[in-house]
Amino acid sequence: MPAPSGLLEPCKSLEFGEAPLAIVEPFSYYFGYLDVVTSTDKALILRTITTVASPSSFVRPLKFRDAFVGVFSSLWCNRHLIRQLVRREFEGRFRGSVLGLLWSLITPLSLLVVYTFVFSQVFKARWSVEIDSPAAFALILFSGLIAFNIFAENFNAAPRMVLQHTSYIKKVVFPLEVLPWVALCVGLITAGISAYLLLLFYLLFVGIPSVTVLYIPVIMIPLCLCTLGAVWFLSSVGVFLRDLQHGTAIVTTILMFLSPIFYPLSAVPERMQEVIYLNPLTPIIEMIRGALFFNTAPSPVVLLGSVVVSWCIAAIGYWWFMRTKKGFADVV
């Protein structure tokens, strides 16, 4: 059975230049092709890839200014491969479980019930909304948790991300920089399920949302960029420093309580609000809540500033990952 056309065509990108083997977009066709060929043919293709193209033979160091474009080119050039890996990762997450996809609803709902009881009934926390009830508090809390969990899940998994795919490092020429994109897309799918649940309860207890809710997809852009930058950096450092995975859980807990998830930012003393705003998640969570519950459009200055800062974080993380990934094979 012949190999798919385009498998050995060169790929052009900022990172790889004129490569003798397509390791970006056509590599996705190679993955789809492996699903329908025999084990003998798979071994032949793997030998072809590893012998025709060696990363050290054509990869050149990535310049920092190119990293700003590389953040997005890594998604576009590998879009077919990312789509297949996302589907496999999401399906594999619930494979073999009795409840399956329901776990993506049970977990956030369980935390929501606990947090709502503790903060609304025990600590008597309140938001200045029209409906001053536990239901309104739960919805506001849930919206913050959805946004934060996108970051937290990827942040905690980052130090082990490359280590869990050692076969991609040693056996085939694989664009490792797509792994954070795959993890982010899976997190966005899970968040989308939670957001659908939030919308149902919102319609039940609050009513039809304002048109300002349409700003939320735009507000999610800096959240995704910030998450990608952190994951690229931590997944690279985690290969060389295995202790890093034990520290991310602590950092995540600190960030959760330093983000206005369980309390309104107005409840924080003025002199401390500047400290809270040092957390890049703070303006994002505040803008999402404002658009959904307070019918306020995000400030263009704050939104643009969040995009610029998060884009810089993503570029730094991507540049670091691409500069260090050539040493992964020496330590795994």
Whether 71 and 38 share a structural domain = no
Domain span at residue 10 reads 1-60
Evaluate whether 14 touches 69 at the Cβ level (below 8 Å): yes
Torsion angle, alpha carbons of 310, 313, 319, 320, to 10: -150
Asked if 265 and 276 touch (Cβ cutoff 8 Å), the reply is: yes
Which of 13, 38, 60 terminates a domain? The answer is 60
- Give yes or no for a contact between 169 and 326, defined as CB atoms under 8 angstroms apart: no
**101 with 15, same domain?**
no
Q: Are residues 54 and 202 in the same domain?
A: no
Q: Are residues 98 and 207 in the same domain?
A: yes
Round to whole Å and give the CA distance between 62 and 298: 35
Share of the chain above pLDDT 70, in %: 76
- pLDDT digits over 68-116, tens only? 999 999 999 999 999 999 999 888 877 767 776 777 778 777 877 887 7
For residues 88 and 197, what is the distance between their CA atoms, to the nearest angstrom?
A: 24
Choose one of 60, 84, 107: the last residue of a domain.
60
Check whether residue 134 and residue 194 sit in a common domain: yes
- Same-domain check for residues 309 and 274: yes
Same domain, 76 and 54: no
Assign 55 a pLDDT band (cuts: 50, 70, 90).
very low
Residue 27 CA neighbour count, 13 Å, CB half: 30
Domain tally, the chain: 2
Q: Are 193 and 280 in contact, with CB atoms under 8 Å apart?
A: no
Give the distance between the most distant pair of CA atoms in the chain: 69
322 vs 310: CA distance, rounded Å: 18
Q: Which of 76-80, 133-137, 164-168, 295-299 comes out lowest in average pLDDT?
A: 133-137
Residue 52 corresponds to which tokens in the numbers above? Answer: 């025709």
pLDDT-derived band of residue 298, with 50, 70 and 90 as boundaries?
very high
72 and 49 part of one domain:
no
Domain end point (choices 14, 37, 60): 60
Q: For the chain, give the secondary structure using H, E and C.
A: CCCCCCCCCCCCCCCCCCCCCCCCHHHHHHHHHHCCCCHHHHHHHHHHHHHHCCHHHHCCCCCHHHHHHHHHHHHHHCHHHHHHHHHHHHHHHCCCCCCHHHHHHHHHHHHHHHHHHHHHHHCCCCCCCCCCCHHHHHHHHHHHHHHHHHHHHHHHHHHHHCHHHHHHHHCCCCCHHHHHHHHHHHHHHHHHHHHHHHHHHHHHHCCCCCHHHHHHHHHHHHHHHHHHHHHHHHHHHHHHCCCHHHHHHHHHHHHHHCCCCCCCHHHCCHHHHHHHHCCCHHHHHHHHHHHHHCCCCCCHHHHHHHHHHHHHHHHHHHHHHHHHHHHHHHCC
Average confidence (pLDDT) over 265-279: 86
Same domain, 262 and 135: yes
The answer on 107 and 82 residing in a single domain is: yes
Together in a domain, 48 and 86: no
**Average pLDDT value over all residues in the chain:** 79
Residues 123 and 3 in one domain: no
